[in-house]
């Protein structure tokens, strides 16, 4: 079997995307297949693989996301933006896209400059562990605010937290965040990839919300924060009502890299 794919990246977070609206791949792809496709030496190379699956009358499509270890994962913000661009290239043209992901419905718009504004789930709960924060933005995130991000060994420190007893079984994404005059800088260790990635959309979203909460545990009003990841710049906008963050949008690039075909071994 030969599969067709496209590769996209959002601020350096890269993905293999396949159109599976004919339902040919979903029952066929194994965890080992996906891990091999994502392997940077023996496959295409990516932080994850996504399937554009059929939607229904309410949704334009369904997003199914796998980490590079081949396991189906929780929401991926950069992936969500990239699959919207892929959907348009595959003939799904909308002013506003509505799609279903593992954490529920999302909407998105492609802006005039080519960036994508992706609607994210509301955040109602933030947990404190000392000075650190834990929150879920479609995927679970651990936030540690640091005075100098350049002094942090993100893979080593992130792995230590991710493999600590509270998170060893299910894993957690670990973010190190520095606030400066220009906004936020972030380095993220992603579970499933088990390494630092150049950007993490749900992590960027978590960092922005965590910073606002850190400044003031309760507040109100609209917000717009810029966040600089290793692979590029993103922005998070939304509205805060007390301890609830809503109407959240993750804004950033979603760029086509290349397309091709790949043989898949017969079962």
Positions annotated as catalytic residues are 76, 200
| Spatial separation of the C-alpha atoms in residues 120 and 26, rounded to whole Å | 25
DSSP per position, 129-181: ETTEEEEESSSEEEEEE-S-GGG--HHHHHHHHHTSTTTTTT--EEEEEEEET
Helix axes 77-89, 201-215, angle to 10 degrees: 140
Run of H or E residues at 79: helix 77-89
Q: Which helix (H) or strand (E) holds 33?
A: helix 31-38
Nearest to 141 by CA among 103, 172, 168: 172
Handedness of CA 205, 211, 214, 216 (dihedral sign): negative
Phi, psi of 224 (to 5 degrees): -150, 115
Q: Take residue 57 and report the two structure tokens written for it.
A: 């009358």
């Amino acid at each position: 079997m030969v599969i067709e794919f496209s590769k996209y990246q959002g601020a350096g977070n890269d993905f293999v995307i396949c159109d599976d609206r004919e339902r040919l791949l979903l029952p066929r792809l194994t965890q080992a297949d996906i891990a091999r496709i994502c392997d940077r030496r023996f496959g295409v190379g990516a932080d994850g693989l996504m399937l554009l699956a059929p939607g229904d009358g309410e949704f334009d499509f369904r997003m199914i996301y796998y980490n590079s270890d081949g396991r189906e994962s929780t929401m991926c913000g950069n992936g969500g933006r990239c699959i919207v661009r892929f959907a348009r290239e595959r003939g799904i043209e909308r002013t506003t896209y509505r799609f279903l992901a593992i954490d529920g419905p999302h909407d998105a718009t492609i802006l005039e400059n080519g960036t994508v504004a992706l609607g994210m789930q509301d955040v109602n709960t933030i947990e404190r562990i000392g000075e650190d924060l834990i929150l879920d933005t479609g995927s679970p995130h651990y936030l540690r605010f640091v005075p100098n991000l350049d002094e942090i060994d993100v893979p080593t420190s992130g792995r230590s937290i991710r493999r600590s007893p509270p998170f060893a079984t299910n894993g957690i994404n670990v973010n190190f965040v520095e606030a400066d005059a220009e906004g936020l800088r972030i380095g993220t260790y992603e579970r499933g990839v088990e390494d630092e990635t150049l950007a993490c959309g749900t992590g960027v979203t978590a960092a922005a919300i965590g910073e606002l909460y850190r400044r003031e545990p309760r507040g109100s009003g609209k917000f717009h924060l810029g966040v600089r990841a290793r692979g590029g710049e993103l922005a998070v906008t939304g509205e805060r009502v007390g301890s609830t963050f809503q109407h959240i949008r993750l804004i950033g690039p979603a760029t086509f890299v290349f397309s091709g075909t790949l043989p898949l071994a017969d079962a």
